[in-house]
Amino acid sequence: MGEASPLTAGPNRLRQGYGGPPKRSAEAEGPAFHPTESGLPSPKGPGLHVDVERRFASGFHLSAAIDVELAAGSILVLFGPSGAGKTTVLRQIAGLERPDAGAIRFDDEVWCDVARAVWRAPQERRIGLVFQEPTLFPHLTVRDNMQYGVRPGSDPVEEIAKLLGVADLGDRYPRELSGGEARRVALARALAPRPRLLLLDEPFAALDMPTRARLRRDVRGLLHRMATPAILVTHDRVEALAMGDAVVVMIGGRVRQSGSIGDVFSHPADADVAASLGVEAVVPARVLSASRGVLEVAVGAVVLQVAERDPLAPGTDVYACIRAEDVTLGTQLSTHASTRNHLAARVVSITAEGPVDRVSLDCGFALDALITHRSREELNLTPGVQVTAAIKATNVHLVPRF
């Protein structure tokens, strides 16, 4: 077990401050982005309080309560399957829909309070909004689109346009843009009036993977730079892991769990949440080195070997995802076959899940293994026993955190 390095994994390590992304080293910082010194506690941000109810004619009943502090530049992910009510909550926060009952407060302002008949129009909330489709004004040039919400003469948008790489597109019309460019312009338009909160409703869903990855990185960087907090609606776990600092899991119109990304993904509150998040263990890690198609990744003091699917530079912060089905248990350190990772582990608990047993392990970080009853008996597993957990390098999936 390692000493306390900044990345040491373990039950406590996963409990990151709300809104605190995995800390990165100074070298890993981009040059202009991330003005907040890493390692320092993130500045206290405005609070968002949502407690809303809405009944739809379809019978769908939304009843969601969210109470979070949105640190400057942090991203809160509203995560859940389609039809969970995420977008409705986002639209209520934006002021585009009204709840039947409840209240929404941001910072020291009441945006909506049905009981007291308080209502602030979207114009008065100073938010930025980006939909799944870019919804640029088709009759205006890119420049006029970006200037749209900015009073003439104030707040030049050039800086934001430059940071998003769309400064050269000013004279074009929206129909002349690619999908990725249009999203960037939509983001620039939303951020130009310096909103206090950016709302993103699956803004990258329709884009191809490489474009999406670049946009995620740029948006995170820009939000940090502008110190603007954001709420991101998504049902894509990779997007949630890549962009989120904190997550609120919604299922069937209810908030089922909320907390830091690491906490929620590694400790789902119940089976529904686990199913919606995916069945993998998710642990924060950092790339140490890359050679001949194998990445060495530090998870706390433990080093995992991972097949390199996408090139990742040493120093990159990642989430390592490992499915319980892919973890093999043995009683002694073996070097057989092609399995590259053999971790010394202690059995923490064993729970029966139908025909198989879920064995929770502590191997420097929390990890689950699914094995048959028979294997459990043959290995003589009980809590406290030392075992070896084997994971193939190809079974560890990395989600980079830019």
Partner 1 sequence: MDYSALWLSVRLAATTTLVLLAIGIPIAYWIVFSTWRGKFLVEAIVALPLVLPPTVLGFYVLLAIGPLSPVGRAYARLAGHGLPFTFEGLVIASVLYSMPFAVQPFSAEFASVDRRLLEASWSLGVSRLETFRRVVLPLSVRGLVTGIVLSFAHTLGEFGVVLMVGGNLPGVTRTVSISIYDAVQSLDYAAASRTSLLLLIASFVILASTYSLQRSVWVKPRH
Contact by Cβ (8 Å): 346, 386:
yes
Stretch that binds partner 1, among 63-71, 111-119, 120-128, 363-371 (CB under 8 A): 120-128
CB of 7 or CB of 94, closer to partner 1 = 94
Nearer to partner 1 (CB atom), residue 20 or residue 149? 149
Q: Which is nearer to partner 1, 102 or 149 (CB)?
A: 149
Stretch that binds partner 1, among 88-96, 107-115, 324-332, 353-361 (CB under 8 A): 88-96
Which range binds partner 1 by CB under 8 A, 80-88, 186-194, 245-253, 369-377?
Answer: 186-194
Nearest-approach distance from CB 121 to partner 1, in angstroms: 7
Where do the H-state alpha helices sit in 30-114?
86-94
Q: Residue 147: helix, strand or coil by DSSP? A: helix
CA dist., res. 166 & res. 185, Å (int): 7
Of 342, 390, 354, the residue nearest 369 (C-alpha): 390
Nearer of residues 40 and 121 to partner 1, judged by Cβ? 121
Give every CB contact of residue 14 below 8 A, 6+ residues apart in sequence.
Answer: 260, 262, 263, 266, 267, 283, 284, 366
Q: Is 117 in the site for partner 1 (CB under 8 A)?
A: no
Name which of 148 and 278 has its Cβ closer to partner 1: 148
230 binds partner 1 (CB under 8 A): no
Binding of residue 123 to partner 1 (CB under 8 A): yes
Going by their DSSP bridges, the two strands 47-55 and 328-330 should be labelled as unpaired
Minimum distance from CB of 149 to partner 1 (Å)?
3
Residues in the interface with partner 1 (CB under 8 A) total 28
Exposure string (b/e) for 309-337, b if CB count within 10 Å is 16 or more? eeebeeebbbbbbbbbebbbbeeeeeeee
Residue whose CB is less far from partner 1, 9 or 93: 93
What are the distances in angstroms from CA 352 to CA 360, 363, 376? 11, 21, 11
Helix axes 179-191, 209-226, angle to 10 degrees: 10
The DSSP bridge pattern shows strands 356-362 and 341-353 to be antiparallel
Residue from 2, 46, 83, 122 touching partner 1 (CB under 8 A): that is 122
Is 127 a residue that touches partner 1 (CB under 8 A)? yes
Of residues 203 and 400, the one with the C-beta less far from partner 1: 203
Fill in the per-residue mask, 148 to 167: x = in contact with partner 1 (CB under 8 A), - = not in contact: xx------------------
Q: How far is the CB of 134 from partner 1 (least distance, A)?
A: 9
Binding mask 188-217 for partner 1 (x = CB under 8 A): -xx--x-----x------------------
Given a contact cutoff of 8 angstroms between Cβ atoms, the answer to whether 102 and 53 are in contact is yes
Contact window for partner 1 (CB under 8 A) among 171-179, 204-212, 295-303, 338-346: 171-179
CB 169, CB 134: distance < 8 Å: no
Among 158, 176, 270, 353, binds partner 1 (CB under 8 A): 176
CA–CA separation, 385 vs 224, rounded Å? 45
CA 322 to chain centre: 17
Query: Binding to partner 1 by residue 121, rule CB under 8 A?
Result: yes
Binding site for partner 1 (CB under 8 A): 94-96, 121-123, 125-129, 131, 133, 135, 137-139, 148-149, 171-173, 175-176, 189-190, 193, 199
